[in-house]
Structure 1
Amino acid sequence: MKIATFKVEEWMNLNETKAKYNIAETCVDSVTLDELFHLAGRSRQEFFSELSQRRMTYGAIFGNRELKAEISKLYRSINVDDIITTHGAAGANHLALYSLVEPEDAVVSVVPTYQQLYSIPESYGAKVRILKLTKEEKFLPNLDKLRTFVNERTKVICINNPNNPTGALIPEETLRGIVEIARSVGAYLFCDEVYRFLSQEDGYPESVVDLYEKGIVVGSMSKVFSLAGLRLGWIATRNREAMRSILLHRDYDTISCGLIDEALAAVAMSAKDKILARNSKIVRENLAILDEWVANEPYFSYVKPQCGTTALLYCDVDMPSEKFCSKLLAETGVLLTPGSCFDEEHCFRIGYACNKEELKEGLAKLGKFVERLISSSSAPL
């Protein structure tokens, strides 16, 4: 089986450790275990004392039920048996698509998005049609175009809400429109929701799994809960046929998640309201910093993100995005992700939910770097 190079992960693998100012990071500023236990109001000593007496067997095969009970509270219609834990959201995306997609199946995916959503189906021999999200349409799916992309052979429609890398949040009316399109042809609607709840406004963010009987969603502890080190994600669906297939395939590549990972995730999920309050404050304050910076920089523009931790910054420099980001890193220590990783050019993905001072310093150095490029070049766009 051949699969395309995972461009964004390859870029991060090669460059993340070189950065002094990592404003490519997509998680909300990660917490320590000490901070986690403080937020949860739990004794770290008691937790680890009890854990140290447990035999290190496999974890719960279908996932820690205490953890899954807390995860279910993130949705309106999901119960414990509608959730299966996975090795991160990457493992969840792979498992779900591996379980559902067969050669010659018709699949629709939005782009730009996380590359798994189209490269994995392609690797299994699916016929993937790409629904291009555009800056002019604020990176929201065009329902009229989507209708022309589907038919009775469409097996899965893949979306990402909130969107990575753009930070676009699909309005509820549009989301319901996508559901109706999927329902009209009997397709699964698969949605990567790992940035859900990191919105710029208060209110309940609707989930595909609550809106559609064939909805399948993915979440994780990494982005929203600042615990990427746990490598713990999940798939949620009310559809019994999809869940049976997922469980069948999961036996081949997962068996169970780590006992320690799930125990710590359960502590975090018990304190989800406090963690979400902390992280909502970070993304709102940091986006205000980024927004003010963009407004005052003559060579930059963007579609202001509505949710999540990332945005696509467009820059008026006539240089391929990978060359731009490599030069920026080498000369300033600032790490961004090239737009080419998402099949976009003259832009790059920024992650603005990092430490506030790191964001400010990284942006300052980015602005000065572009000023030097412009002043030394006779070919700005």
Structure 2
Amino acid sequence: MVKIDSFSVESWMDKYETKCKYNIAETCCASISIDELRELSDTKDVQIVQTSNALSYGSIRGSDTLRSNLARLYSAKSTVAIDPRNIISTPGAISANYVTAYALVGTGDHVICHYPTYQSLYDVPKHLGATVDLWHAKPENKWLPSIEDLKALIKPNTKLIVINNPNNPTGAVLKKPLLQEIIDVASAHDIAIMCDEVYRPVFHSITPLDPGFPPSLLSMGYKKTIVTGSMSKAYALAGIRVGWVASHDTEIIEKIAEARHFTTISVSQLDEQVAAFALDQNTVHGLLARNIQLAKTNLELLERWVAKNEDECEWVKPLAGTTAFLKFHREGKAVDSVEFCEKLMEKTGVLFVPGSECFGAEFKGWVRIGFVCHTQVLKDGLAEATKFLRKNLDDVGLAK
């Protein structure tokens, strides 16, 4: 039997997210309804879901409309357009990431994974029998990993490099020059790269005018690139469970398609219709404008809060995405992040995610905050968290 480790962050959310009063641990842009989605569109009178269609499996690899809309978005600022046939829909990005690993790695292979990041990105390859090395990013370097460290991790059997850009939990961005260096390393050894881009394009603190602004890795010319995404984070539609995997490499896509037959068959027709409407050119710009503005507004609140509580916490301000990683301490010593989050939840109903439990034991004192919730929830939750820091921080043990 395959040994499967506990999926710590999902177990934490499962335990607390329906019991909290202020959920500022969630990583999605504040979720919207179908009615709200319609209001954000320029075509408000269009029927989003075709209720007269027979509910068959539908198009096995994903609806033509959905895949064409995704291809348009990926091709918009790329010199090489992607063929919609090289995009496959999945039930969320977690499935896209899983089936990619399932198709490409196994016993005897070696995988390198950007870290810290979402646990499944490095644990699933382990479950499949691969050896995994973590490519560490550190706060003193603004959560950017070293390209020299990556080179040192390469082995003769390295099959896959996994990156997450923008990053969960730090909100850091691997900028274009670093992405090119990663490609250069991978191409020199004929290694595939998988980039989880679920938080793209929520760029709230870096603009396309920045020379380092990161394009999708799919547009950077390296054929053995795979990118994954979903409707959950940047598009505020986690409930429809639609994700995707895309690559210019037809051989890779065919391997993934074969692997996917064993896991999914197809994605719900109803879900894909909602996703296709959201990604249509008449809707997607209004939807993203709403979510990026929400991120900017809320990040200003969080930045002021961190400054107000600088004696108790520190951070590297995120550049993109929906999450921030904060370190809490007492007199310069890191607190026990699990105890901190548990007591915060107990005393105030505010939900944070403990870094040492959910992202690695070395992240003592670190917690993840999901700040792109509804603004009033963030305001009220942070106000309660301030009271906790003033009244209860001394009761939280220090990290061991």
Whether the TM-score (by the shorter chain) exceeds 0.5 is yes
Aligned to 1:290: 302
2:322 maps to 1:309: yes
2:170 maps to 1:166: yes
2:336 maps to 1:320: yes
- SS of equivalent residue, structure 1 residue 316: strand
In the alignment, the residues of structure 1 paired with residue 67 and residue 149 of structure 2 have an alpha-carbon distance, to the nearest angstrom, of 37
In the alignment, the residues of structure 1 paired with residue 37 and residue 290 of structure 2 have an alpha-carbon distance, to the nearest angstrom, of 11
Aligned to 1:267: 277
Q: Deviations over 1:171-217 (max 9, x none)?
A: 11011101111111111001100001111233264111122211100
Aligned to 2:70: 71
Task: Indicate the larger mover: 253-262 or 67-76.
Answer: 67-76
Q: How many residues align?
A: 379
Aligned to 2:119: 115
Distance 1:219 1:45, change over 3 A: closer
In the alignment, the residues of structure 2 paired with residue 165 and residue 370 of structure 1 have an alpha-carbon distance, to the nearest angstrom, of 22
In the alignment, the residues of structure 2 paired with residue 11 and residue 325 of structure 1 have an alpha-carbon distance, to the nearest angstrom, of 10
Aligned to 2:89: 85
Distance 1:155 1:52, change over 3 A: same
Aligned to 1:202: 207
Q: Is the 8 A contact 2:175 2:214 kept in 1?
A: no
Q: Is the 8 A contact 1:374 1:380 kept in 2?
A: no
Aligned to 2:36: 35
Deviation at 1:380, TM superposition (A): 9.9
Aligned to 1:234: 244
In the alignment, the residues of structure 2 paired with residue 274 and residue 378 of structure 1 have an alpha-carbon distance, to the nearest angstrom, of 46
Fraction of identical pairs, as percent: 40
Deviation at 1:15, TM superposition (A): 0.7
2:364 maps to 1:345: yes
- SS of equivalent residue, structure 1 residue 18: coil
Task: Indicate the larger mover: 193-202 or 332-341.
Answer: 193-202
For residue 365 of structure 1, the aligned residue among 384, 390, 399 is 384
- Root-mean-square deviation (CA, aligned residues, Å) is 1.7
In the alignment, the residues of structure 2 paired with residue 31 and residue 333 of structure 1 have an alpha-carbon distance, to the nearest angstrom, of 23
Deviation at 1:363, TM superposition (A): 0.9
Deviation at 1:321, TM superposition (A): 1.2
Distance 1:375 1:91, change over 3 A: closer
Question: Which letter does structure 1 place at the counterpart of 2:97?
Answer: N
Q: Deviations over 1:12-46 (max 9, x none)?
A: 01110011100001111111111111112334674
Distance 1:89 1:358, change over 3 A: same
Distance 1:222 1:61, change over 3 A: same
Distance 1:81 1:314, change over 3 A: same
In the alignment, the residues of structure 2 paired with residue 275 and residue 163 of structure 1 have an alpha-carbon distance, to the nearest angstrom, of 21
Deviation at 1:259, TM superposition (A): 0.4
Deviation at 1:378, TM superposition (A): 9.6
2:29 maps to 1:15: no
In the alignment, the residues of structure 2 paired with residue 115 and residue 380 of structure 1 have an alpha-carbon distance, to the nearest angstrom, of 22
In the alignment, the residues of structure 2 paired with residue 249 and residue 378 of structure 1 have an alpha-carbon distance, to the nearest angstrom, of 47
In the alignment, the residues of structure 2 paired with residue 360 and residue 109 of structure 1 have an alpha-carbon distance, to the nearest angstrom, of 35
In the alignment, the residues of structure 2 paired with residue 46 and residue 142 of structure 1 have an alpha-carbon distance, to the nearest angstrom, of 49
Question: Which structure is higher in helix share?
Answer: 1
Task: Indicate the larger mover: 73-82 or 8-17.
Answer: 73-82
Deviation at 1:54, TM superposition (A): 1.3
Output aligned runs, 1:217-232, within 5 Å. Answer: 217-232=227-242
Q: Is the 8 A contact 1:320 1:346 kept in 2?
A: yes
For residue 138 of structure 1, the aligned residue among 142, 147, 150 is 142
| Unmatched 5+ stretches in structure 1 | none
Q: Is the 8 A contact 1:3 1:122 kept in 2?
A: no
Aligned to 1:4: 5
Distance 1:78 1:284, change over 3 A: same
In the alignment, the residues of structure 2 paired with residue 46 and residue 83 of structure 1 have an alpha-carbon distance, to the nearest angstrom, of 25
Aligned to 2:52: 53
Q: Is the 8 A contact 2:365 2:399 kept in 1?
A: no
- SS of equivalent residue, structure 1 residue 293: helix
Task: Indicate the larger mover: 25-34 or 67-76.
Answer: 67-76
- SS of equivalent residue, structure 2 residue 200: coil
- SS of equivalent residue, structure 1 residue 131: strand
| Unmatched 5+ stretches in structure 2 | none
- SS of equivalent residue, structure 2 residue 17: helix
Distance 1:15 1:374, change over 3 A: closer
Aligned to 2:291: 279
2:272 maps to 1:255: no
Q: Is the 8 A contact 1:111 1:132 kept in 2?
A: yes
